[in-house]
């Protein structure tokens, strides 16, 4: 049986496309030895690590999407921003604790609480806003070799929340003396973390499109966004090349809104079926 390690990039709703690759790996009976994921990729990697198949992962993702669509959590600022509240949010207008609580409910169904409870070795990166250090949450520290700061005694929901705390959107995640933000700031394609788990070859999955050409003279906000897109795209390409195999699924810039999850998975499945890389994965 072919064996690989799987690196899942962050990408918001675009990361739903990764389900198509997981489904294909199952069809070909290619075993995932270890997995790492950043931001939304951290959630999908966690669902793989607890033992769910692609169909169950898709079901859980679409349920979560429906919850966020109904409650509009990503559209309305938290009441913790009001002047009279004692507990204040840092780094974003969406309360990350809401995300953590929703994930707690999800993982309770599978009798999972801490990251160490998962079945497949898992690594999730985050970044400490105070120091700029990469903080890595791992499920199997006894087989993980790294010079990074490693934590293992953490709820799985909090690790995912930390890795998904997009600056200026989702509030930073306090943990110990850290103030944690999106792991994609330093490691959106977490290939290096898998080198710390084993020597098996790595498949990196991303969902990047070409940087959009601006038609007008950009303002300050547009300029900042464009610079970030250029930098992150180039860094993702660099990190992906560190893997033996790479799959990029060009989801499209317009397919970002809540409610597009099923469409993204369907179109990505069609795209994945057209790829030849799986023949090589199967033979290796």
The reply to whether the predicted model has a pTM over 0.75 is: yes
- For each successive 10 residues of the chain (284 residues), what is the average pLDDT? 94 94 97 97 99 98 92 56 46 79 97 98 97 97 88 97 90 94 94 92 88 72 70 75 92 69 94 91 80
- C-alpha dihedral, 35 to 275 to 235 to 97, nearest 10°: -50
Are 208 and 248 a contacting pair, CB within 8 Å? yes
Are 165 and 202 a contacting pair, CB within 8 Å? no
Distance CA 231, CA 211 (A): 10
Residue 69 tokens, joined = 């669509």
> What is residue 227's predicted lDDT score, i.e. its pLDDT?
72
Are 255 and 14 a contacting pair, CB within 8 Å? yes
Distance CA 134, CA 283 (A): 35
Are 18 and 8 a contacting pair, CB within 8 Å? yes
Residue 1 burial by Cβ neighbours in a 10 Å radius (0-12, 13-18, 19+) = exposed
> How is residue 144 annotated by DSSP?
-
> What is residue 83's predicted lDDT score, i.e. its pLDDT?
41
CATH architecture, domain defined by 3-274: 3-Layer(aba) Sandwich (3.40)
Where exactly are the structural domains of the chain?
3-274
> What is residue 90's predicted lDDT score, i.e. its pLDDT?
57
> What is residue 232's predicted lDDT score, i.e. its pLDDT?
72
Distance CA 96, CA 89 (A): 9
Query: Which of 75, 76, 92, 80 has the alpha carbon at shortest distance from 170?
Result: 92
Distance CA 195, CA 146 (A): 9
């Amino acid at each position: 049986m072919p064996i690989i390690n799987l690196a899942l990039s962050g990408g918001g709703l675009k990361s739903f496309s990764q389900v198509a690759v997981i489904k294909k790996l199952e069809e070909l009976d290619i075993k995932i030895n270890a997995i790492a994921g950043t931001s939304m990729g951290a959630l999908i990697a966690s669902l793989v690590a607890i033992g769910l198949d692609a169909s169950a992962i898709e079901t859980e993702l679409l349920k979560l999407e429906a919850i966020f669509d109904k409650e509009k959590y990503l559209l309305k600022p938290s009441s913790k921003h009001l002047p009279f509240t004692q507990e204040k949010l840092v780094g974003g207008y969406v309360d990350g604790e809401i995300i953590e609580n929703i994930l707690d409910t999800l993982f309770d169904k599978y009798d999972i609480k801490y990251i160490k409870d998962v079945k497949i070795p898992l690594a999730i990166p985050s970044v400490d806003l105070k120091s700029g250090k990469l903080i890595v949450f791992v499920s199997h520290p006894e087989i993980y070799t790294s010079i990074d700061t490693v934590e293992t005694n953490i709820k799985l929901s909090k690790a995912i929340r930390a890795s998904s705390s997009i600056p200026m959107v989702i509030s930073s995640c306090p943990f110990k003396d850290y103030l944690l933000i999106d792991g994609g700031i330093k490691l959106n394609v977490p290939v290096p973390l898998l080198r710390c788990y084993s020597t098996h070859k790595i498949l990196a999955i991303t969902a990047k499109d070409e940087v959009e050409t601006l038609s007008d003279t950009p303002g300050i906000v547009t300029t900042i966004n464009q610079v970030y897109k250029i930098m992150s795209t180039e860094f993702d390409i660099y990190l992906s090349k560190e893997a033996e195999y790479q799959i990029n699924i060009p989801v499209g810039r317009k397919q970002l809104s809540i409610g597009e999850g099923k469409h993204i998975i369907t179109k990505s499945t069609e795209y994945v079926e057209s790829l030849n890389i799986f023949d090589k994965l199967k033979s290796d």
